[in-house]
Amino acid sequence: MTQAEPEAAESVVVESFHYDPIQADAEPIQSIPGVEEFFEDYLELDYEPARVALGKQLFHDTRLSNDNTLSCSSCHDLRYAGIDRSATATGVRGQVGPINTPTVFNSAFNFSQFWDGRASDLEAQADGPPNAGGEMDSNWEEITTKLSQDKVVMDMLSAAWPDEDFSEGIDSRFWLEAIADFERTLITPAAPFDQYLQGDPSAISEEAKQGYQLFKDVGCTECHNGMAVGGKSFQRLGRKRPYFNSHTGGVDLGRFNITGDEEDRHNFKVPALRNVALTGPWFHDGTQESLSEAVRSMGEFQLDLDLSDGQVQRIVAFLVSLTGEYEGRSLRDVQNTAASNQ
């Protein structure tokens, strides 16, 4: 059901609130599986721990940047839900970039990578930052020269591909595959919402249950659905009310920059909402400073709906219940620990 009238939404949804019983098979959102099941059943890939181990090393390795100052994890800090906690990213030599850093957690669910979807998969994506002048400003030849002098890394590479002979040189595709395989392990199952989906009614608050019902009723699930609660289509930001009043340059053109097609102007990949409570500031331009603000804007610009404070609060409670676990620990706890050690 879509609410066309903001006032109707207010009176119907807030005054006499109901929510439907959960039917896991019929819900627009599904639970995230464990890592091995994800590789084998969902991605139909072999789970190779030696490749994952190499990828983890590379992800945290500053030798991927020209001046050895930045690794992938500098911008995608796994202790902080895979982001840099800034409106836009900062590359080598303090260069401030034009766009917000999305999380690497659950990026394996995305049907394409980057806000504008210009990389078709994680391997193609990982080729971007090392070569980007504004990010790591290096290239694979330079990186391979540095890494091939490190016996630990070379042993990990041989363990990952025991049948390959690397004595004549190393194709960058091996580094990229290892990084991508590591990223495929960065999925976050066991969120309170997943426990709720799996039949535990006490896993989330009443407020979050009502928020989920609203999320479905007002039409958020049209774009944000599936295991990752997004990542499955391109959609225009400002579909119902103009978002880009005067600001129509650069990265704000979104997918138009890739296709040149008018239809794609201001189209962005719908972000996955797993762990979204921890990944602010929000939107491709990093303009939304609170989750409430982001939810309110979505109602306005995507659905032509002025959500009430109570509705926003319920939806936020639902979104908070999407915070999952990595290596058996809630990302929320991981972040709190990191913050208290700073």
DSSP string, 92-154: GGG-B-SSPPPPSTTGGG-SSBSTT--BSSHHHHHTHHHH-TTTT---HHHHHHHHTT-HHHH
Q: Is 64 in the site for ligand HEC (CB under 6 A)?
A: yes
Applying the rule CB under 6 A, the residues between 214 and 243 that interact with ligand HEC are 215, 218-220, 222-224, 235, 237, 239
Q: Which residue among the candidates 135, 177, 183, 325 is catalytic per the annotation?
A: 135
Q: Is 54 in the site for ligand HEC (CB under 6 A)?
A: no
Cα separation, 138 vs 132, whole angstroms: 7
Q: Residue 70: CB partners within 8 Å, gap ≥ 6?
A: 62, 64, 91, 92, 135, 136
Nearest residue to 138 (alpha-carbon basis) of 150, 121, 126: 126
Q: Which of 66, 138, 144, 279 binds ligand HEC (CB under 6 A)?
A: 279
48 vs 304, which CB is nearer to ligand HEC?
304
Q: Smallest Cα–Cα separation from 299: which of 254, 238, 230?
A: 238
204 three-state secondary structure: coil
Asked if 295 interacts with ligand HEC (CB under 6 A), we say yes
- The site for ligand HEC, by CB under 6 A, has a size of 54
Active site annotation includes 15: no
Binding mask of the shown chain, residues 86 to 125, with x at each position contacting ligand HEC by CB under 6 A: ---x-x-----x-x-xx-x--x--x--xxx------x--x
Burial 174-206 (b: 16+ CB within 10 A, else e): bbbbbbbbbbbbbbbbbbbbbbbbeeeeebbbe
- Is position 212 an interface residue for ligand HEC (rule: CB under 6 A)? no
Minimum distance from residue 31 beta carbon to ligand HEC (Å)? 20
- Residue among 284, 113, 319, 134 at smallest CA distance from 208: 319
Q: Which stretch binds ligand HEC (CB under 6 A): 38-46, 139-147, 196-204, 298-306?
A: 298-306
**Active-site positions?**
135
Interface residue list for ligand HEC (CB under 6 A): 59, 64, 70, 72, 74-76, 89, 91, 97, 99, 101-102, 104, 107, 110, 113-115, 122, 125-126, 129-130, 135-136, 179, 183, 215, 218-220, 222-224, 235, 237, 239, 268, 270-271, 273, 276, 279, 282-284, 294-295, 298-299, 302-303, 315
